[in-house]
Amino acid sequence: MTYGNFVSSEDGPRLSLLDQLLELGRTHWDTARGYGDSEELISNWFKRTEKCDQIFLVTKFGVDSSQPGGLRANGTPKYAEKCFNDYLEKLGVDIISLARKIRHIGLSQPSPATIRRAHKVHPIAAIQVEYSPFERLIEQQEHLLEIARELVTAVMAYSPLGKGLLTEQTTSQDHFSDGDFRKQIRKYSQENFQKILKLIDGFKQIGKVHDATSGQVALAYLLEQGDDIIPISWSQCIECIKEIFGGSRTKLTTEELQTPRKLVDETKIIGSQHPPALRAMLYADTPELP
């Protein structure tokens, strides 16, 4: 599960939700400094339950907002060490699953050249990219998916439900709150919503055969792309989480697996999947080692 923006004035319901995630066997938890107070919350949960060893914890660094001018990429050794030490102190754990400070190294939305360069230094356990029927750039971006598989690198697929749109809960951009970052994404503009709703309806039609929701169809599609694809998603509602992971029990036929791809291609929804401030940092090349 990925944490996302889980904001509440009370820790009780949120800690209870983490309890239930463990009971459901959802023990892959993905967080980051930018996800609200997620690290403090998880730290409180670890202290309360003493079950840190049962959680595969993933966190991220590299987007620095401490300098004037807004967000910028910062992967310097000094910044990396600062982030690791801050994480360990804040989380109250000895090891972050994904740097003796960690067990594994991953990259978030790297370019093909960057993942190859990094792999020469140390095996890369996973890359994290947006991947769903709605967003398949990983299949096209200079064969990034093929390269990951060549290097035996898993793919953590974030936003497997199209940033929540494939859950049928949002039918208009007016449903986005004022602070919702999706308002900054051109692909989710109001002018595109009729196309988005048409696309969702196509997923619903597939789901009717399997007594499944459109979101479960989207997740089933993604899971069939390979055992190395690990969807990470989030909801503040435990029943919604149970529904989402019902997609792991939905089995699509060979023909049905082609339909989501075909629907998305035919719908032709124009625009980027990411806010402007992040685009320059995604899939970026890094300088070659001497």
Catalytic, 283? Answer no
- Give the span between the Cα atoms of 290 and 284, in whole angstroms: 19
What six digits make up the tokens of 6? Answer: 């889980």
**By CB neighbour count within 10 A (0-12 exposed, 13-18 middle, 19+ buried), where does 200 fall?**
buried
DSSP summary character for residue 176: S
**Helices 11-23 and 38-49: crossing angle, nearest 10°?**
70
Q: Where are the alpha helices (DSSP H) in the chain?
A: 11-23, 38-49, 77-91, 112-121, 137-140, 144-150, 193-210, 214-223, 238-244, 254-267, 276-279
Catalytic residue among 35, 87, 158, 188: 35
Which residues, 6+ apart, have CB-to-CB distance to 102 below 8 Å? 84, 95, 96
Hey, which residues are catalytic here? 35
